[in-house]
A = this chain, B = another copy of it.
Amino acid sequence: MQAGSASKTFAVIGGDSRQARMCALLCQSGHRVRAFALDRCALPAQAQRSESVRDACQKADCVILPMPLSRDSGMLNAPLSSQAAALSEVFSEMEPGTLVCAGAVTEEAERLAQKQQLRLFDYLRREELAVANAVPTAEGAIQIAMEELPITISGSRCLVIGCGRIGKALSARLRALGAAVSVSARKARDLAYIRAMGNTALHTAALEPEMAEFDVIFNTVPASVLEKPQLRRVRPDALVIDLASLPGGVDMEGAGELGVRVIRALSLPGKVAPLSSARIVLDTVYNIMEEEMK
């Protein structure tokens, strides 16, 4: 799907403005686009609005469905559509063998797709999407810190809990912006990585005595890492930003009692950089198509 590849036909169905942005990106790359269930939303002139899922998907090289695929049980996630549609119904209008990409696919949706013999892929489970999404997540976290703190990132003392993709992308950027950065992890491999980057390595299990050092604490670990003993040491003017997926890594009730300021920041890519986010999904869709064509 590089420059020079032949033009393809895409059906883009449901979802929010990110799906609309994908239509625009596809048209810019010279592809044909048929949209459905994106009624209350501007689309590029070259995109064609279809009358039905069937019309949109007929002979499409790929059908792009939203993330998450469905919000209410069994219904297509289509907030910009004037009509509700059951997923089973949507799938039933696609020809067997159709290549379908969607995000956060449930087991039920997978069963439905299998019944219809669709080739359904969940782009959220692709590693390259996770890698790429670490960047808007890290930038979003920095944006929140910039907005909420009365100090600059430069010269601030930051703790990043966790050294996965987001922890790495975030701690590198904080250091580049002039912060004094500590990163915590549990694995020897990650502690070695943290030191190799010039940052201070801490054990995630032994954060308590260090907590009072930090102006801002970013959590990326989806496990109970900031409980009352740790939160008690957080300085009153410090900020905790929890980036971990629900239920997060912070004892919210404890934080409330102790007066620790916590911001829950979820799904940052779509919020802080919807266009980059659409591009990331699209790159992943291209990769899936390329692999399927082989």
Name A residues whose Cβ lies closer than 8 Å to a Cβ of B. Answer: 21, 126-129, 131-132, 134-136, 139-140, 142-143, 146-147, 149-155, 169, 172-173, 175-180, 187-193, 195-198, 272-276, 280, 283-284, 287
CB distance from A253 to the nearest CB of B (A): 28
Residues of B within 8 A of A129 (CB): 192
With A128-B189, A135-B178 as known contacts, state yes or no: A195 contacts B155, CB within 8 Å: yes
CB distance from A130 to the nearest CB of B (A): 8
Q: A135-B155, A150-B275 are in contact. List 5 more A-B contacts (CB 8 A).
A: A135-B152, A143-B146, A151-B276, A154-B197, A155-B276
Main secondary structure of the interface of A (DSSP, over half): helix
Contact for A139 among B177, B193, B272, CB less than 8 A: B177
Contact for A197 among B149, B178, B191, CB less than 8 A: B178
Q: Assess the A154–B135 pair: CB atoms within 8 A.
A: yes
CB distance from A135 to the nearest CB of B (A): 4
Q: Assess the A188–B150 pair: CB atoms within 8 A.
A: no
CB distance from A128 to the nearest CB of B (A): 4
Closest B residue by C-beta to A150: B275
Q: Assess the B126–A196 pair: CB atoms within 8 A.
A: no
A sample of 14 cross-chain residue pairs with beta-carbon separation below 8 angstroms, ordered by A number, consists of A21-B150, A129-B192, A132-B195, A132-B196, A135-B154, A143-B147, A147-B147, A150-B273, A150-B275, A151-B275, A155-B276, A175-B198, A177-B177, A177-B198
With A143-B143, A275-B150, A276-B151 as known contacts, state yes or no: A131 contacts B179, CB within 8 Å: no
